[in-house]
Every structure is written in C-alpha cells, then in structure tokens.
Copies of this chain bind each other. A is one copy, B any other.
C-alpha cells in the first residue's frame, strides 16, 4: 500500500472501508484545505503579528465601528467566546478598543488600527493572489462560492 495515492487506496480497498472513508472525506478534506490556506495566510499576516482571523476582525471593525461581538460572531462564523479572545488580543496590540454600553459591548478601531487596515487589506490581496496562482483563478472563484455556501448551510441547520 505504500506510495499509493488516496484515490488508489479508495479504489482498491475493501467495500465498507471505501464507503466510510469517502463519505466522511469532506470532514477530512475541508480541514486539510483550511490548514493549507491558513498556512499561507499566517505567513502574510504574520508580518503584522496577526493571524487571519485577527486580520478579518480588524477589517470588519474598521468597516463598521461600534460593531458588537455577536455581530462579529455571525459575520466571522466564530463563537462569541472566540470573538472575545480575538478582541482581547487586538486590544493588547492597541488596534481596537471596547466600550461597554449596558450588557452590550461596542468595538471601535483605534487610530493605529485604522492606520494598519490598508496594509492588512494589501496582505489580504496578497494571500488571494498566492493561492489563486496555485489553484487557478476560475477554480478559486467557484470553490470559494461553493465552500462558503456549504459553510453557511451547515451553520444554519446545525
């Protein structure tokens, strides 16, 4: 079996095994893809000491100053607790600040945050350019839409 590709294994392995591996493969492959692309993202955003979710969050906050954690949670498809943690990190880096208003929390960009945003956007484009070059523009476009749609559908129904 050594040196065989995944497809070959799928084709030659026993019946049940093939079925089970294949049917769950989206769980596997989705994570594999996420890790592969995140690696690219981390490299680009790492120049600012950010990871991709920091970058995305910062852009959202700059685009919508005063946005709430729950809104961010929906937009980024991340748990509220995760949002809190990300905001904490960005607060430490003085890129955003929090304002409590009753039980709500408003998140604003700091001047530094706003100043950094264009660079972050540039890095963002750079990430896109890199994986587009590897995967092909058309492919990426199509894949992105399908993947996003699937993520949304699962997010709603689950």
- A25 to chain B: which residues have CB within 8 Å? 128, 144, 148
- A31 to chain B: which residues have CB within 8 Å? 34, 37-38, 52-53
Complex Cα distance A78/B32, Å? 8
Binds B, one of A90-98, A102-110, A135-143: A135-143
Contact A143 B147 (CB under 8 A): yes
> Does A59 count as interface, using CB distance less than 8 angstroms?
yes
With contacts A16-B121, A124-B20, A146-B143 known, is A37 near B26, CB below 8 A?
yes
Name the interface size band of chain A.
35 or more
- A154 to chain B: which residues have CB within 8 Å? 33, 36-37, 40, 131, 134-135
- A22 to chain B: which residues have CB within 8 Å? 128, 144
With contacts A27-B40, A34-B34, A158-B40 known, is A20 near B125, CB below 8 A?
yes
Contact B144 A26 (CB under 8 A): yes
With contacts A24-B125, A131-B154 known, is A147 near B147, CB below 8 A?
yes
> Does A63 count as interface, using CB distance less than 8 angstroms?
yes
1/0 contact string of A39-77 vs chain B (CB within 8 Å): 111000000000011001001000110000001000111
Contact A147 B37 (CB under 8 A): no
Extra A-B contacts (19), CB below 8 Å, given A13-B63, A17-B59, A26-B37: A1-B63, A6-B148, A20-B128, A21-B124, A22-B144, A23-B128, A23-B129, A27-B37, A29-B147, A30-B147, A31-B34, A31-B52, A32-B76, A33-B148, A33-B151, A35-B151, A36-B154, A135-B154, A146-B146
